[in-house]
Structure formats: structure tokens, C-alpha cells
Structure 1
Amino acid sequence: MFSKIGQLIFNNEAVAKTSDFTMGLEIEMHRVDDTGNLSQEPYPAALGDETTNPWITTDYLETMSEVVTPPAAYALDAMHYLYGINNVLRSALAPGELLWPLSMPPKLPKDTSHIRLAQWGPEKEAYLKEWTRRHRFAEGTPCGAHINLSIDQHLIELVLKNFPERFKNELEAKNYLYEILAQGFVRYRWLITYLFGASPIAEKNYFEGNFKLDHPVRSVRQSSFGFGTKFAGDYTNVQAYVERIKQGVKDKILIKEYEFHGPVRFKGNPVLSELPKTGAEYIELRMLDLDPSSSVGIRTDTLRFLRLLASYFIMSPALKKNEVNRVLEQADRMNEEVANEDPRSICKYQNKARAFLKSLELYANRLQLGPEYQEILDDLADRVENPLTTPSARLLNYVKDDSLEEYALRRARRYQRAAQDAILKFEGFEDRQYTATELKQALFRGNWDPDLRRS
């Protein structure tokens, strides 16, 4: 089951370190008015400057609010940060404003000329205008949940120390571990789409003309009908990843390097060309739809599952270098098929899903990870056997007149009321910026300590 690196980690009783990822979350949600239209209100004044507030910003449209959490050691801590900052955002909304809880945008106007793009300064505003010119406006509007994972330093040092013939320095060991993580997540993206896809339909005017989906799907957002830029990355290694993106810019397929929006991104040095020299510091997972059953767009069990996946990928044999692109190209095709399946139907790759979840169960049992992981895997195994229990299939129960607007607004109002009833009130960002340490104190005031050990 284990690779040589995995066996080393197991023998050194360091398996826990494979799931001790520092985790950060980025959750996008549109601001809408109480009738379900994109809000005409500006970026909330109580949040300060959208270009400098690191915790609540915008993405593509000024209405697309993005909550960003400080790095946290454990899933529960990340969720508490997310809940706290999400409440701050909700408290700053104008009267009547709500946060749209679905990945696919609310009904869009036919005339989008009055919809403001994100106000990021001249350079990025020019980029957004050019992006909109090249793509359809609607293709920039889907929202999602992004998860950032950073590997524990102890693990990198352990691998480097015990494989000196394989890795010359810490940089090589670190990049290698991030590479096998990225490859694993891209390879099994189709399974994540099946288990967590939650965008079965699109609202009015998302599609052009008279186009209409033949049937509801598992995830519009994760299909080719979703976010606009369709450009495949090269995950063979960090160097190949960078060269592929730079070539995309040179060939004018990409406007800028940061236009690459693959399912996984290597992150670290802000200058992309320097990334192979300085090394990846974390990976960004971009394959999750918003979960509308949660006020913050994602559930703790989902984060725990992703951490389990990451641990499994690190411990398992990696793809051979000359097979990475072939396998991941096939994985992309599988994801497109799964994303476009009717969410009420058995998945074409049900047997593969069963086998993979069984491997995860054996892995979790061997490592004695505890009942919470067994419960998560049991629940996900049920989703594989019964597609009606998947998020997208459940959402179909609320479709009226080919729309989820009534359901989305009901949820949005409920979440807004809950945020307004919160006992602890945050003073806001209007007059100052907060470091991560200051933010922790302002949000929790000693009622929650993210530094305590949790899972």
C-alpha cells in the first residue's frame, strides 16, 4: 500500500504529520438583493478597502465577495475562522442585501454593462475587461470554495534526511511532495465532483440564446460549461507547470500568468518564473462547489476528507513521470463525463469510486485515524451507492420553474438572520487592517483558541 516514502513515514511514526496540513480557505459568494438580482450596492464601507483587506475581498465582479481565512493547523479551526469572517461580511451588508449560497450565479441581466467588475486598480481592471472581451461575461460568475494546503515542515525534513541520494536539498524534497499531492487531486477530481458537486442547473441568462441543458447535471461549474478559461496545466513537476503556463501566455491563450485557473495550483513565490527556484509553499484546490447546506459554503467533514486524501496521496506510490500527463488527461475527460451526468443516475465510474473509497477505508483503519473518519467514509460510500443522496440530486427537490432561486433566497435569509443574531460583534475593518493574530483576538475574544490541538 505504501510507497518507499510512505513506509519511511510509517516506520518513523510520523503518519500524523501527513495530515497535519496548515489549511486556509477562500470562499466566494455573490451579494444579491432580496429579489435575487446581483446587488447594485458598492463594496461594503465597513470592510475598508477591497484592494487591501486581506480577509474579505472581491473576485471578477464587485458583487463576488471572497472570504479568506488565516492559515490554521486544523480543519475545525479553519471553519471557526471562516464562520467568524463570514459573519463580519454579513454584518457589513447594506439593508436588504444577502449572500447567494449557490455556486452558479443568480439570474443575470441581459444587459450587463451596468455590472461593475472588481475594483483592483488599473492593471487588473484592464485584465478583467480583456478577459470579459475574450469570454462570455457569465463564465466569470460561478463561485466556489478554494482550499489551501501546506505540508508540515517535519515531513519535508524527514524525507530529505532519509533519501539523500534522491533529493539534493530541501527544495527538491518539498517540491516533490507537493507534486504528488497535486497529481493525486487532479487524478481523482472526478470523484470529488461526484461526491460534492452542487450545481445541477444554471439560472436565467447564464447560457446564451436558446441554449439549455438537456437534463440537470452533477456540476455545471465543474464542467466545460463552468468557469471560462479552459487551459490544461502540466503537473509533471513544478518546472513543467510553470513552463506550460508561460507558454500559454506566449501563445496568447492566456492573457496573464494568473489567468491559469486549473483544478490545482502550486502557490508560493508571487513571481511565477521563480517558483521552481524557491519552491511551492502550498497547493490551492479549486474543484469544490459551494455547499448551500452550510452558511459558509463548506462543511467540516469535507475538509477532513480532503486532508485524508492528501495524507493518502503522500503515502502512496506516485505516478511515473512519463505517465503523468496521459493519466491526468484521462482524469480530465472522466471529470467532464461525471460533471455532466444526471445527478439522479448511477455514476459511470461507480466501481472505481467503490474501490478507491475502500482503499481509503483500509488506509484510515490501518492508521487508526478514529471514528470521525470512519463516519465520513461511510457517508460518502452511501453517496456512491445511492446518487439521490449526493448534493446535486438533493438540490433537485427544490427546483421550481427550472430555477433554484426560491430555495437559495430562503437559505440566504436564514443565514443572514443567524449572523445578525450573533452575540459577539466585530468592530469591522473600516478604520484599520488586522494581522492574523489581531484578527483571532477580535473574532473570538478568548472564546476559541485556534492554537489548541484539534482535528
Structure 2
Amino acid sequence: MSSTTSTSQLQQKLSWLKENGHTGLLTQLQHGLEKEGLRVDLDKELAQTPHPEALGSALTHEHITTDYSEALLEFITPVFEQSSDALQFLADLHRYTYQNLDEELIWPASMPCHLLNESAIPIAHYGDSNVGKMKYIYRVGLENRYGKMMQTIAGIHYNVSMPTAFWPLLQRYSKNTGSLQEFRSASYFSLIRNFRRYSWLLMYLFGASPALCGSFLKGKQHTLETLSEGTLYLPYATSLRMSDLGYSNKAQADLNICFNHLATYASSLNRAIRTPYTPYEKLGVKVNGEYKQLNANVLQIENEYYSDIRPKRVTQSGEKPVHALIARGVEYIEVRNTDINPFLPLGMDQCQADFLDAFLLTCLLMEEREISTEECEQISENHQRVVTRGREPGLTLIKDDQHISLHQWGSDLLSEIQQTAALLDEANGCTRYSASVQAQQKKLDDPELTPSAQVLNAMRTQNLSHGEFVMQQAKLHRETLLSTPIDQAMQIKLAAMRGNSLQQQQDIEAADQKDFDSYLAEYMAN
């Protein structure tokens, strides 16, 4: 389908929303944020201390937990209609955490601090319950499959869904006579496909990891250049986090999931979590009484599949994510390709959130065509070019089997996104969505305005290594965040959640009736 047809479909749907008085629904988008951040000591080394008990239980706390490592904090906001409220909640989580971190700091970059070796990366612990043990062994499996270094990379997940009332209206407009659940899921998958086609633009505009500490690649072959002692980079890179240096996986390469349908997506994941993989079989599952992984399949669990965007559905107790999707359809989408911007206290700001809303809504309302195998390969090629060479003068990408300059294609996309932004402005009585698009056009016109260029410029002009630069920013952000008092009600709420979460963990541990082997076998059999 041509870009002209794509544009006309977008224009038609935007006109339909406006002419039928549906724009008010655009004020009810649902937003949630998840942000990771390593705890580091004042020597720029990964913290070796346990997850602070003052923050509560990493197993049961709703908003403050850990990801792969005991030192990798993860903040999770509730769902809000306004992205500004999610950002405010995230800021308060940072403030509360800093009140309880003593001499440690939160690393404000996607690529990690100096890492002595893999043994200096402690795997997260979640207590003695079966569910806690399973979370721990899953991470042991990640270590044995991919190594620990990759697991120290951090990012921001931006979660969005349309309001419930939107879907019946869009279904009637689309003259779709199937079930509402199937229509909603298919529409979200259309959004995901368009996101994958155009997410290279987000990498260019917001990628903020053009350099890394040399310790991350110690002893490994690579093609990076030396920026300064201990710092490696690529001159025109935007996001090394999203390159092959970050999350790459040979075992997953053959899954070829291009998100055309929920049924094929779910069956691909189901197959991967049930299909043995010879190298993992050789590794063994339980060896000499110790688990090396949860199983020897291509994926231990669905979350092991890495993608820059995921269809999601809140699960019920004990339910697998893929089963929740099959049973009740897609509920929201999770954007996973957002780097932590070292210049921003929260890693992202309101302008970026507004642009993401306009970008994602545009992806939803554009054409609904499937991704062929050939296009899937072109998408991967465009992604690789932008994350490693995105600011290279004259860089071209592949669109409909033709070469097109990144600047031209990016400008064309921003013209379409601007139409959506204008309607969001009208619905919300503001101008900030259009302003967010205009800010991105400036980055296209002048690559030096991109976060990736600014990171490199800051290191060069101040003669700083990657670690020195990020540590400098960490100290600045701590001061900035703590200069604004935490909301008093939030302070009380988080203090109560600390105690409640610790008690919940104890209750879960006390209630376990099965031995772990039986628990795991039962979970895997479902």
C-alpha cells in the first residue's frame, strides 16, 4: 500500500473522530511507565548491597522492584489518563528511593557503569517462596544462556492503551462485524506493525546510548572505536542499547515474529516455550541438585522473548501472559525501545511522552497491512542502520524496496504525525502535542540536537569518560529531584506499602505447600 493511501486513511479517521464529536476520547488515553536504573556506589561501580529493605519487598511491592540484578531497580507507575501524572508519580518514586539509598546513586543511562566482571553482577533475590525461587532461577537461566553483562542494560517502557469507549466506535466506522475483542486485538496488532515499520524514527530522535564503558565488551570482539580511555563508541550511533551489542539472541532468531495476527504471535510464543533447544539441553536444567535454568526450551518463559514492542494483557494469579492474550485479547501495548536520556532526571520528559502519544495514535490510525518476510528483513536492516549510523550524513533507508534518505522519510512521517498532534491539541485544549512534533523536526534538520549527539559532545568538550559523564549527571539529577519535596500523601502511601509488601512476602512464603520441583512442573505443564 502506498504512503499516499496510508496518509488518506489517517486523514479519514482523524476527520471521522472530529466530525462525529469523538475527540474527547483522546483525553482518556491510558498511560503507565516502567523505568529501570542501576544502583551504583560513589566509585562508579555496581552496588553490591542487597535491595534496600527500606524500599520494601522486591517480590510484592507494586511500584518499586528489581529487574535482572539485585542492583537493577525498576520503578512501575499505576495507570493514568494523563502522561504528566505518570511522570509525576515516577519522580516521587525516585525521590522516595533517594531518601533510602544512603551513599548510592541511580545510574541515569541505558548502558551500564564500569563492571569488574560478571561475578560482580548480583542476580536479584526474591525470598524463599516458590514464586520467588522461580524468578531467581529464571535469571540464572538468563545468565547461563546469554551472560550477565547484557542483563545490566536499562531502559524505559512506555505503556499505552485506548479508552474502552473508543473501540465500539472504531469498529462501527470500520464496518467490522466480528467480535469486539477480536477487533481490538487486530487493531492493536496493526498499531504494532506500523510501529515496527517506523520505530527507527524513535531511535534517531531519542536514542541516547552512542557510547559505553569498555568493561561491557571486555574480551569480546567488536567494531566500536575508542572515544577516550575506557570509553567505546560509534561516531554516528544513536542507540547501542538497541544494536546487536545489546539484546541479540541466536536461539530466538528463527522465531520470525512479525506480529501479523494475535493467533500466530501466540502460537509462535507457545511453540518457543515448549520446543527444546539443543545447546540449552546440553547445559542441563537441574545439575547436581542446582537449577541452571527453568527448562531447556527456546524460551524459558514468554518474557524472555525480546521485542521493542509487545502486546500485553494483565494476567490473573498463576496465569501465563500468552494465555491471558488468547483468552481475553490485547489490553495495551508496551513500547520497550526507549533509552534513558542522561540529561533528564527521569530519563524522559513531557515533550517526549507527548510525541510518543501522537506517534502511537498515528500508527493505530494508519494503513492496516501485514508485514511480508521481505519487509520484515527491511525493517531489521533499517533498525540496524539507524542505531549504529543514524546521524551519518546522507544515510538512506529502505522503503518499499527503494532507497530514501532518513531525513526525507522522517520529515514525511512527522507531517503525518503532526495531523494527529493537532487533533490531540484540540481535544486537550493545548498546543504541546504540535510543539513536540516541531521539536523533533529540528532534530531531523540538525542531528547535533539529538540526545546521542549531545552525549558525545558533552564527553568530548568536558574530556569525560562514559562513566565520569554519567556519574556527573547522576549527582545533578539527585540534587534536582530532592530539591522538590515528595508529595506528603505519596510519602505516607509508600511508607505503608513498604511494610505491607514485606508482610505479603512472608505470607506467601508461609502459605507454600508444594516443594519447588512440583511447583515448577505444574507451572510449566499449564
TM-score range, shorter chain: 0.7 to 0.9
Are the equivalent residues in 2 in contact too, given 1:105–1:141 (CA < 8 A)?
A: yes
Aligned match of 2:416: 359
- Residue 364 of structure 2 corresponds to residue 314 of structure 1: yes
CA deviation profile, 1:4-26 (whole Å, cap 9, x unmatched): 65554344221442463200000
More helix by share: 2
CA deviation profile, 1:65-94 (whole Å, cap 9, x unmatched): 01100101011111111111121112121x
Which deviates the most, 233-242 or 249-258?
249-258
- Residue 182 of structure 2 corresponds to residue 122 of structure 1: no
Aligned pair partner of 1:255 in 297, 300, 304: 300
Aligned match of 1:449: none
Aligned match of 1:55: 63
What does residue range 265-276 of structure 1 map to in structure 2 within 5 Å? 265-270=310-315, 271=320, 272-276=322-326
Distance 1:203 1:367 in 2: 40
Counterpart secondary structure, 2:135: helix
Counterpart secondary structure, 1:405: helix
Are the equivalent residues in 2 in contact too, given 1:236–1:325 (CA < 8 A)?
A: no
Counterpart secondary structure, 1:234: coil
Aligned match of 2:481: 419
Distance 1:404 1:345 in 2: 24
Distance 1:19 1:338 in 2: 33
Distance 2:247 2:207 in 1: 14
- Residue 63 of structure 2 corresponds to residue 39 of structure 1: no
Counterpart secondary structure, 2:240: coil
Following TM superposition, by how much is the alpha carbon of 1:249 offset from its aligned partner in structure 2, in angstroms?
2.4
- Residue 437 of structure 2 corresponds to residue 431 of structure 1: no
Alignment CA distance shift 1:17-1:324 (3 Å):
farther
Distance 2:109 2:165 in 1: 38
Are the equivalent residues in 2 in contact too, given 1:144–1:286 (CA < 8 A)?
A: yes
Aligned match of 2:215: 205
Distance 2:249 2:20 in 1: 43
Letter aligned with residue 185 of structure 2: N
CA deviation profile, 1:326-348 (whole Å, cap 9, x unmatched): 43442222011100116464543
Are the equivalent residues in 2 in contact too, given 1:43–1:62 (CA < 8 A)?
A: yes
Which deviates the most, 197-206 or 169-178?
169-178
CA deviation profile, 1:150-189 (whole Å, cap 9, x unmatched): 11111112123455x6232221221122112211221111
Following TM superposition, by how much is the alpha carbon of 1:381 offset from its aligned partner in structure 2, in angstroms?
0.6
Letter aligned with residue 414 of structure 1: L
Letter aligned with residue 244 of structure 1: S
Counterpart secondary structure, 1:146: strand
Aligned pair partner of 2:201 in 182, 188, 191: 191
Which deviates the most, 366-375 or 307-316?
366-375
Letter aligned with residue 378 of structure 2: Q
Following TM superposition, by how much is the alpha carbon of 1:118 offset from its aligned partner in structure 2, in angstroms?
1.3
Work out the number of aligned pairs and report it: 429
Distance 2:260 2:14 in 1: 20
Aligned match of 2:151: 140
Are the equivalent residues in 2 in contact too, given 1:19–1:307 (CA < 8 A)?
A: no
Distance 1:84 1:324 in 2: 44
Letter aligned with residue 138 of structure 1: M
Alignment CA distance shift 1:352-1:61 (3 Å):
same
Counterpart secondary structure, 2:124: coil
Aligned pair partner of 1:97 in 85, 104, 116: 104
Are the equivalent residues in 1 in contact too, given 2:425–2:432 (CA < 8 A)?
A: no
Following TM superposition, by how much is the alpha carbon of 1:114 offset from its aligned partner in structure 2, in angstroms?
4.3
Aligned match of 2:264: 240
Aligned match of 2:3: none
Distance 2:207 2:339 in 1: 6
CA deviation profile, 1:169-221 (whole Å, cap 9, x unmatched): 22122112211221122111111000000001111321141634143421110
Alignment CA distance shift 1:6-1:407 (3 Å):
same
CA deviation profile, 1:417-438 (whole Å, cap 9, x unmatched): 333444346242432359xxxx
Following TM superposition, by how much is the alpha carbon of 1:48 offset from its aligned partner in structure 2, in angstroms?
1.0
Using structure 1 for the length normalisation, give the TM-score.
Answer: 0.88
Following TM superposition, by how much is the alpha carbon of 1:234 offset from its aligned partner in structure 2, in angstroms?
3.0
Following TM superposition, by how much is the alpha carbon of 1:294 offset from its aligned partner in structure 2, in angstroms?
1.3
Letter aligned with residue 227 of structure 1: Y
Aligned match of 2:438: 378
Aligned match of 1:71: 79
Aligned pair partner of 2:330 in 276, 280, 284: 280
Letter aligned with residue 240 of structure 1: T
Letter aligned with residue 334 of structure 2: E
Aligned match of 2:389: 341
Alignment CA distance shift 1:98-1:344 (3 Å):
farther
Counterpart secondary structure, 1:394: helix
Counterpart secondary structure, 2:211: coil
Following TM superposition, by how much is the alpha carbon of 1:306 offset from its aligned partner in structure 2, in angstroms?
0.8
Aligned pair partner of 1:390 in 431, 434, 450: 450
Letter aligned with residue 247 of structure 2: F
**Structure 2 unpaired stretches of 5+:** 1-7, 127-131, 226-233, 276-296, 397-405, 503-526
What does residue range 435-454 of structure 1 map to in structure 2 within 5 Å? none
Which deviates the most, 408-417 or 141-150?
408-417
Letter aligned with residue 387 of structure 2: A
Aligned match of 1:171: 181
Which deviates the most, 392-401 or 198-207?
392-401
Following TM superposition, by how much is the alpha carbon of 1:289 offset from its aligned partner in structure 2, in angstroms?
0.2
Aligned match of 2:378: 330
Aligned pair partner of 1:350 in 390, 407, 413: 407
Following TM superposition, by how much is the alpha carbon of 1:410 offset from its aligned partner in structure 2, in angstroms?
1.3
Letter aligned with residue 331 of structure 1: I
Letter aligned with residue 296 of structure 1: L
Aligned match of 1:27: 35
Letter aligned with residue 430 of structure 1: R
Distance 2:195 2:27 in 1: 15
